[in-house]
Chains A and B, each alone.
Chain A
Amino acid sequence: MTNEVLPIAELLKPYEGQEVFVVVEVVQLDPKTNEPLTGRLIAVTADGQEAGLAARQVINGTVMIRWMGKPAEVVIVCADHPL
């Protein structure tokens, strides 16, 4: 994995449409929107749990995990829990 700091869009572009999770250490966030701007690639994996564990390599920093596959329709969740 490269340790180069790149814009997030550039980091994610090679994986677009692939059914993988990309783990990125976020180096710079937009101060207004909190949108990640630049980062460093940590891991690329098809397994969500592996992605979560890989994200723990980042100590005292900001990290994000992105699913790069085609988004599916969304399920509504209703928990059986009194508010």
Chain B
Amino acid sequence: MPTIPFDPQRRLIQIAALASDGRRLVLQMLVDTGASMTGLRASALLALGIDPQTAERTLQLNTASGTVSVPVVVVPNLHVFGVSLVNVPVLCLPLPAAVGADGVLGNDVLSHFWLFVHFRRGLLVAEQVSNFWRRWRFWWQVMRAS
């Protein structure tokens, strides 16, 4: 699924996460190249059966509005742009409800992909960084999207 439509006003991309019991959660995520790690809000983690309060690790977050300490948990499976990533460390983000997203896709996940974003058309082309064939397919999709 290399070309993904998104709402350019809200800048949200759809991905999926799988809980260890097989339950699937559809997530609306912000693509945030300024974030080094991917994060989900507590409601999404709870829906996946992950209690952020039981996290063994915390991390200091530097945000535009200050520094906070947040739990780091492991999501068993994130399905992003047609690729399954297993055991992904994810931050529990204190996102205000009004942000409207379930979380942010940070560079730890985005770095697995070549990305091209066409804001005016609301299209994102994503291809897993891999062999020549995928690279070729990526550029082909970019040309079609432009």
Whether the pair B23, A74 counts as a contact (CB closer than 8 A) is no
What 1/0 flags go to A48-66 for Cβ under 8 Å of B? Answer: 1101110110111111111
Interface size on A, residues (CB 8 A): 40
Bound complex: CA A33 to CA B122 (Å):
13
- Given the known interface contacts A77-B104, A83-B107, the answer about A52 and B42 at a Cβ–Cβ threshold of 8 Å is yes
Whether the pair A64, B26 counts as a contact (CB closer than 8 A) is yes
Q: Which of B57-84 contact A (CB under 8 A)?
A: 59-65
- A: which residues have CB within 8 A of B? 19, 21, 23, 26, 29, 32-36, 48-49, 51-53, 55-56, 58-67, 69-72, 74-81, 83
Given contacts A49-B43, A76-B34, 13 further A-B pairs with CB under 8 A are A19-B97, A52-B42, A52-B43, A62-B24, A64-B25, A64-B26, A64-B27, A65-B43, A69-B100, A75-B95, A75-B99, A77-B34, A83-B107
